[in-house]
Amino acid sequence: MKTPSLLVETHDLTFGFGPRRVLQQLGLQVPAGSIYGFLGPNGAGKSTTLRLLLGLLPAPAGSVRLFGHDLSRHRLGLLARVGALIEMPSLYEHLSGRDNLEATRRLRGLPAARTAAVLATVGLAADAHRPVREYSLGMRQRLGLALALLPDPELLILDEPTNGLDPQGMADMRELLLALQQEHGKTILLSSHLIGEIERVATHVGVVQQGRLAFQGGVAELQRQQRGRARIVIDTEDAARCQLLLPAEFGAAALLGPGRLGLPYQSDEQLAYLAQQLVLAGQPLYGLHCQQPSLEQSFLQLTETAPAR
Ligand SMILES: Nc1ncnc2c1ncn2[C@@H]1O[C@H](COP(=O)(O)OP(=O)(O)OP(=O)(O)O)[C@@H](O)[C@H]1O
């Protein structure tokens, strides 16, 4: 079967809980082979979206397509190709990690070799014999992922898989996600409210704000967009005086402090001309540099209105 270029595609996905609008005309596009970071502040609608993709909520307005097919018409067949980790996995505390997996594997009639395979994939083989009550949060998350991986799904949908993990747990999870994509060929859609987490693993990003997509595209594209938002920062003696000296076509200069001025970056020539003008006007120039907003700043900018709680 030919793999479509988009494994997840929604059109005008609109959903509410009663009168409360939660998602509005969401057009999600998750390319095959990607790690798609679905970002947004708390309450933006990430979990709701992921639940809709898994058919866990009443049918929304708009459409959901998985693997190129309509979810509402081919639900069971399509969901059999998806592994999900949506909440803390429900685990039998008194059973070992291996036995937890075995219980699900048998129930789903999957080949016996899958248990050892997924234990190795998530790095739990050495701890597989221990009861789950002894597992750390990170180990539980990895066991949850192992459960999702049992049927060897093509697509993984993970809701905040690093939530609550310590830095080591987060790093382990990141490494695991990269290995799943690169070595096992999985497509991964994961949500997070932390751009720093997503930035390290994602190939694509969707930013949701109050139920609408504020950005969607490749990480490189997001970074390119940032470059358009760069600004020049000038350190001088009297910023207010310099502000008056600058030609208006350079855009509005803003006072960032008594000795600091900022204005939109246009080109390197503009930078050189600015320096020349200020020096010619007898203003001391202590510093002149170009400031790129970080991905974190741009994420905050995209999501700066209050979340829809
Ligand atoms: N079962 C529900 N009934 C009513 N409202 C709900 C329900 N579940 C979620 N909501 C509301 O829908 C909105 C979106 O919630 P959702 O859980 O999708 O956000 P999120 O982006 O995943 O945030 P978080 O990271 O906090 O889970 C919020 O305003 C939330 O209060």
User: What pLDDT, in 10s, does the model give residues 189-219?
Assistant: 999 988 888 888 999 999 998 889 988 998 8
What are the CA-CA distances from residue 208 to residues 24, 52, 55 (Å)? Answer: 10, 15, 20
What are the CA-CA distances from residue 294 to residues 137, 192, 226, 287, 301 (Å)? Answer: 30, 18, 8, 20, 11
Predicted confidence at residue 302, as pLDDT, reads 72
- Predicted confidence band of residue 309 (pLDDT cuts 50, 70, 90): very low
What is the value of pTM for the model shown?
Answer: 0.81
Domains of the chain: 6-217 (3.40.50.300), 230-291 (3.30.70)
Q: What is the C-alpha to C-alpha distance for residues 186 and 154, in angstroms, rounded to an integer? A: 5
Q: What is the mean pLDDT of residues 25-49?
A: 93
Predicted confidence at residue 307, as pLDDT, reads 45
Does ligand 1 have an atom closer than 6 angstroms to the CB of 42? yes
**Eight-class DSSP state of 133:** G
Report whether 13 contacts 62 (CB < 8 A). yes
User: What pLDDT, in 10s, does the model give residues 153-184?
Assistant: 999 999 999 888 888 888 989 999 999 999 99
Does ligand 1 have an atom closer than 6 angstroms to the CB of 206? no
- What is the Å distance from ligand 1's center to 240 Cα? 46
* Tokens 């505390």 -> residue: 93
User: What pLDDT, in 10s, does the model give residues 90-103?
Assistant: 899 999 999 999 99
User: What pLDDT, in 10s, does the model give residues 108-129?
Assistant: 999 999 999 999 999 999 999 9
Atom 16 in ligand 1: which residue has the minimum CA distance? 45
Does ligand 1 have an atom closer than 6 angstroms to the CB of 40? yes
